[in-house]
Structure 1
C-alpha cells in the first residue's frame, strides 16, 4: 500500500488575469462558473462552465473574459507542499477538503471526474465504490450516511468517501440535487461504473439518478 493525499481547492481567477501555472501531478479541474483555457504539454483546451479537464501534465490556466470559479482536485504525495495558486496575485485559492488515502501498489490506477444528478427526493441506495474520492455538492442538498455518521451537505459543501465503506445518500425533496466527484479507481474500471449495491434487493430497484463522466485518465503515480 502507498499513501497519498487527495485535495480539493476552490480557485477564483479574475477575467483577463495572467496565466496561472501549475506543476505536473494528477488533477481534475471543474469549471463552476465562467470559463478557462487549459494549456498542457501537447495542446490547448477551452473549458466552459459545467465542464472538466482531467490530466497529469504541468498546465497553465488562462483566464477568459469572465471571472472563473474552479474546483480543482489533486493527488499528491503525503509530504507535498500546499497546492494553492502561486505567483498569481489577482487570484485566490482555498483548500476545501483534503484526505489521506492508501492505494494498493499492485493495481494501476485512474482518475475520474464525473457528475451525479438527482431529481427531488432521489436517493443513492446503500452502495460501495472501487476507490476513494472527494465529492462536492453543486446544487440542492444531499445527506451522507456512512460508518455510523450522518452529515448534510448543501451546495458548496465537500465530503470524502472511502470507497469500500457502505454509503446511503438521500437528497432533499425541495429541489434537484447535483454533485461533482473526483475519485481514484483501478484501471480495470475504465469506462465502467465503479458502483456496487450492498443489499441484493436494491440492485433491481429503479434508479432515478443520472451520471455524466467528464473524463478519466490513466495515472503515473507521483
Structure 2
C-alpha cells in the first residue's frame, strides 16, 4: 500500500482504498480547527491510500504505507501550536502524512532535524520518535495530519511520550480531530 498527499490540482482517476480531504475555513485561533475534513470529494489537501504509488500533477509526495493489522482506520486531524509550543519527544501508533498549513515547525528525529515551512509535507512512520518545536516568533503553527491507525485507537489518542518524565512539561499544542473512519480489510 501507499499513502499520497495531494493538492487541489490533483485530477487523476485512481482507485483508492481510502481517502481523506481537508478544506481550509476561517482561522479563529489555536482552540478551534481552521478547516473541515471529509471522506469524499476534494479539498485543499487530500490524503489517498492506494495499492500503487501515485505521481504526476497535484501529487505532493507518496510513501509506502505499512497498514496496522488486523483492522485499521483512517484518521484526519489538525494540530495547532501557539508560539513556542513544543510537542516533546513522542511517537504515534499510526503512520501517515503531515502537511503544514501555517507557521514554521522544527522536527527533530533520531537522525535528522528539519525545519518545515508552510506548504511542506512530511511522512512519519508509526512508532518513530520525534520532537516538534513551533516558531518562537510568529503566530500559530498548524498542520493537517492523516494517519492509518490500528482500529483499537478509534476515538482515542495515538500520542505516546517517549519519556514519562516529559509528562510534567507543558503541553500547549491542541489537536482537533475531524474523523476516524474504519476501513474494511475484506474490501481490499
TM-score under structure 1 length normalisation: 0.73
Name the structure 1 match of 2:6: 9
**Looking at CA atoms only, which structure, 1 or 2, has the larger radius of gyration?**
1
Counterpart contact for 2:83–2:135, Cα < 8 Å:
yes
Superposed, which structure 2 residues align to 1:1-222 within 5 Å? 4-12=1-9, 23-32=15-24, 50-54=35-39, 70-77=44-51, 80=52, 82=54, 93-105=57-69, 107-175=70-138, 176-221=140-185, 222=188
Length, aligned pairs only: 178
The runs of 4+ residues in structure 1 deviating greater than 6 Å are 19-22
Matched residues in 2 for 1:23 and 1:76: separation? 7
Counterpart contact for 2:16–2:50, Cα < 8 Å:
no
Name the structure 2 match of 1:43: none
Structure 2 unaligned spans of 5+? 27-33
Residue by residue over 1:14-48, the C-alpha shift from the partner in whole angstroms, topping out at 9 and shown as x without a partner, is: xxxxx9976453010111379xxxxxxxxxxxxxx
TM-score under structure 2 length normalisation: 0.85
Counterpart contact for 1:21–1:60, Cα < 8 Å:
no
Matched residues in 2 for 1:220 and 1:147: separation? 34
Matched residues in 1 for 2:53 and 2:129: separation? 32
* Aligned-CA RMSD value: 2.4
Matched residues in 1 for 2:95 and 2:53: separation? 21
The alpha-carbon distance between structure 1 residues 198 and 72, as it changes in their structure 2 partners (threshold 3 A), is same
Residue by residue over 1:39-87, the C-alpha shift from the partner in whole angstroms, topping out at 9 and shown as x without a partner, is: xxxxxxxxxx711103xxxx555xxxxxxx621101111xx26376xxx
Structure 1 unaligned spans of 5+? 14-18, 35-48, 62-68, 85-92
